[in-house]
Structure 1
Amino acid sequence: MRKDFVSYLAGGDAAQAALVQADMQELGVAARKLANHVLVLGGGFGFGTTFLKWLAFFAAVYLLVLDRTNWKTNMLTALLVPYIFFTLPGGLFSLLRGEVGKWIAVVAVIVRLFFPRHFPDWLELPASVILLIVITPAVFANSWGELVGVFICLFIGCYLLHEHIKASGGFRNAFRRGNGVSNSIGILLLFIYPVWALVLHFL
């Protein structure tokens, strides 16, 4: 039916039919590109990136809490502070960058300076995250979600995974021991956002 329609439009001339056919193909390619761009900017991929960013953020917070409670590892888990900084979702970042974050930072500093016995050790890294968000210069803070941050997150994930596997005595042990499974899953979740962001960037 499509060929009959093309032949009808072209008036039976083969050259004109080929031109119409080429135009139809170009329209199809343009429609596919438009659909892909709409998915990336609006719904599908954009939503997927936001969801994965939230998931990676929660995984980093989970590992930070785990380290301060019952993990007690010798790894440099303070690297989770810049990871949280770079994966902090936009709305939450803006909230903590404003007056709310400043008040939290002031209270944390006052309690730490004047009431050190009432400042628990497990609050030091979360307070560091707030301080980092509040005091970071605007030039750097405005580019917190760019490619440099993605590479830093990827490096932090690779380092923590390597150290965790080494501390567990191998890859298999990291997924066999009781606490090791949840720790390993948490560390693997750190990779989902930076890897996805790099895939979208280089596509």
Structure 2
Amino acid sequence: MVYHRNLLQVQPSEAIYQDLRAIGTASRDIGIQLAATVSAGHFGFLRWLATIAAIFLIVVDRTHWKTDLLTGLLVPYIWLNLPPILFGFFRGEVGKWISLITVIVRLFIPRKFPEEAELPVSLILLIVVAPNLLADSVRNSLAGIIVSLAIGCYLLVQHINNAGGFRKAFAAQNGIPNTIGILLLFVSPLWEIFHHYL
């Protein structure tokens, strides 16, 4: 009976305020734990985030939201920022089999090869074929970070120019997801520079 009386005494606006305060506290706690994880040098999450953003931009470009972005640049970006577990997976036997099947299909049945698969297959071919010197040294070096930032900057400038300005880049129907996706490309490289070199 006391419980029902307490429910009746709480005003709806006060209940909403309490819920929003609880959401804010939970968000703050998640942010603190994420910052602690990232500041400890575990920026694997940021690499995953940047890779997912790049894959998102490739997928969006292949759908009805066709953009004028040079999405071919996302292949070396993903190659440079792919999390080590995925890089090792595709560099192994799985990537070799995918590459072999792709080359066979492209040679003998070129009309059956879907155009949408060009960039993902190019990425897997690049992962498989790249020499160990490049795969081990460039991916985890300042040069790789600078190339990733240059790709992100170029795509951002190209997106803003194609939209007709910074405000229009956020106002167009497909502008917001593309702009956010491009901005997420900066997360991992900037944090790696901040963590290792500053």
1:199 aligns with 194
Distance 1:51 1:122 in 2: 27
1:187 aligns with 182
1:137 aligns with 131
Residues 1-203 of structure 1: matches in 2 within 5 Å? 43-46=37-40, 48-143=42-137, 144-203=139-198
Distance 1:122 1:70 in 2: 12
Equivalences, count:
162
One-letter amino acid matched to 1:71? W
The percentage of counterpart residues that share the same residue type is 54
Q: Select the structure of larger CA radius of gyration.
A: 1
Distance 1:155 1:196 in 2: 15
**Shift of residue 48, structure 1, vs aligned partner:** 4.6
Distance 2:172 2:69 in 1: 18
- Let me know the Cα RMSD of the aligned residues: 1.5
Distance 2:40 2:124 in 1: 27
One-letter amino acid matched to 1:148? A
Q: State the SS of the aligned residue for 1:71.
A: coil
What is the TM-score with the length of structure 1 in the denominator? 0.76
Structure 2 gap segments, 5+ residues each: 1-35
Distance 2:147 2:114 in 1: 29
**Shift of residue 46, structure 1, vs aligned partner:** 4.5
What is the TM-score with the length of structure 2 in the denominator? 0.78
Distance 1:120 1:168 in 2: 29
1:9 aligns with none
**Shift of residue 115, structure 1, vs aligned partner:** 1.2
Per-residue CA deviations over 1:168-199 (Å, capped at 9, x if unaligned) read 00000001111111111100000101111111
Please tell me whether the aligned partners of residues 72 and 119 of structure 2 are also in contact (alpha carbons under 8 angstroms): yes
One-letter amino acid matched to 2:107? L
Please tell me whether the aligned partners of residues 58 and 74 of structure 2 are also in contact (alpha carbons under 8 angstroms): yes
Please tell me whether the aligned partners of residues 41 and 195 of structure 2 are also in contact (alpha carbons under 8 angstroms): no
One-letter amino acid matched to 1:73? T
Structure 1 gap segments, 5+ residues each: 1-41
